[in-house]
Structure 1
Amino acid sequence: METSVLTQVILPLCLFIIMLGMGMSLVLTDFSRVLLYPKAVILGLVGQLLILPLCGFLIAAFFVNDPILSLGIMLLAVCPGGTTSNMVTHLAKGDLALSITLTAVSSLFTFISIPLVMSFAFEYFSSEATHFELPVMQTMGGLFLITLLPVSLGMMIRHFKKPFAIKMEPYLNRFAMIFLVVLIVGVGVKQHDALVSALQQMGPSVFMLNVITMMIGFLLARRFKLNTEQTTSVSLEIGIQNSTLAMLIATSLLNSPEMALPAAVYSLVMYITGGFVIGLRHRSSNAGNANSGDERTEALGLDLK
């Protein structure tokens, strides 16, 4: 994609606003919850920062033939969490405080983890015919401007202007959802033929990334005996990536709309699987209420038994 006002100014500005909104929804206690839920937070971060990139690499290396799309898978895998995972967690009756904590903490790590992992990915998936280089310092600078800076500003606004931040939060959430739809449509229009091809080629791969990581999160949470709400949060935080951030990095920082195609396809897939989890959790809660009054059943959560 050629450098333009759209890719270099408008799209990053929109993401800046979205991340500002995320910051306005956070307070310092969101970070201090690491001390309250150490086991759950550590499991979530291990899943987001280690398991996710590893799964993305294995899928990209063994199931994707196009090196640019492989890099798109890797980029998607290193953009964990986001407002979407918080929304789905809330609708699925998970532990929203834990979800927000994982989103907040992982957002701080992505400033380092994205350039680090993507540098390896660019080197691995490059060949003599297709050589890629990641502008590391430019990427880190861009990530600071569109992630850490707006989140920090948003938290300052929340601290000093709490009523304003609370009032603006639903509007900024709607803006984020609308922007995601517009971004997907924009990528689809500009890359129509490539998107149709990517749906056929990448559909199974992004579905695997979504479902496998979600199931790994579920199994880890159950293995370490987290409760149902925490299990739901960890599963969704590990399984639902920040596709908006991945598309913005691909189109604005890396000038590669084709690299954004896996994230565009993933944006459609994650709502299907997220809706399934929401339905499963509501069914579980209703069954628990019917069987034991107001007590929640511990039998399901994301459990498929």
Structure 2
Amino acid sequence: MKKLYVISGMTGMTGNELARQIVKRGDDVIGFDNFFASSTETIKDVIDSEHLEFFEGDINNDAQMKELEEKVTARKAEYEKVTYINCAAVVHTEHFYHVDRTFETNVIGMKKFLEQAIRVGADSYINCSTSEVYSMASWKEGGVKEDDFLLLATAEHSQRTSYATGKLLTEFFMKDAVERGMIKGCSLRFANVYSKNELLAKHVIPHVITSLMKDGKVTLLENSKVNKRTFLHNIDSCAAVLAVADTDAALDGTVYNVATEQEVSMIELVDVCAKAIGIEKPEIIFEGYRESDPQRRVLSAAKIKARTRWEPTITLEQGIKMCVDYRRQVEGK
């Protein structure tokens, strides 16, 4: 029998690639999105698949979520397994400093979606979290582990922390539901996921690519003179979601880091993007400063690698080339 996956935020960065990988398997997807920061353009290659049912819907709209629940309940018996995957989130950095913009969707929406999964008798629930929960203590030799203590900035230092603490709270909801025997599941902390479909210059990679392709130069924050990061392609992040979903022993309510070990400085990131575009010496302008921004964010993915067969497969150079090639295709250049 086939499996059914119910995906919130399906046209977003994680949801659209999940749908693609699931359909390729021959399993079925029911997904929805409110198009807060995306469109059906990201799923145009699979939207007509017999394995996919998509509708425009908002995780905060009770009437629309009741419709979804009725859909899943009516079809549940057809499947060997039903898995809910929560990808709906307000994630763009510009919203991190506005508590109300993240709380309703990231916290309340996640909780209601989890409660629906429990009501319909879903087999498991995967909660997509974020490396932001590590806040300031986000690096050590060998990478930060899931059970390491957190060091969060306070509200006096940065409202940005509201996003991190909201996501952290969803991990507690997930763990509690599993420990009470209500459902199987886990949370995944993704580290700086990027995608070729992310065309809006909201995160650093699309910002750099957009700026370089337009002007041959890019403006970065002053923090970028010292900051380093790892970047995870969404093909790899989504493969990790399916890896834990396929591994019963991994659905223990705990957290899994999902990250690469390829750390680069922001300056090196600009160079990688410039090389993919064909620019030899990109001009970098430093302007502005972000409070409570960790200099490094390096996670240990040893836990998920040990419990599943997941490994990242796409290097930063390969991933950036995919982004640039897709941008040129879309823009006809």
Q: Which is richer in strand? A: 2
Whichever structure has more helix as a proportion of its residues is 1
More relative contact order, 1 or 2 (CA 8 Å, 6+ apart): 1
Asked if these proteins are the same fold (TM beyond 0.5), I'd say no
TM-score bucket (shorter structure): under 0.3
Q: What's the TM-score, normalizing by structure 2? A: 0.25
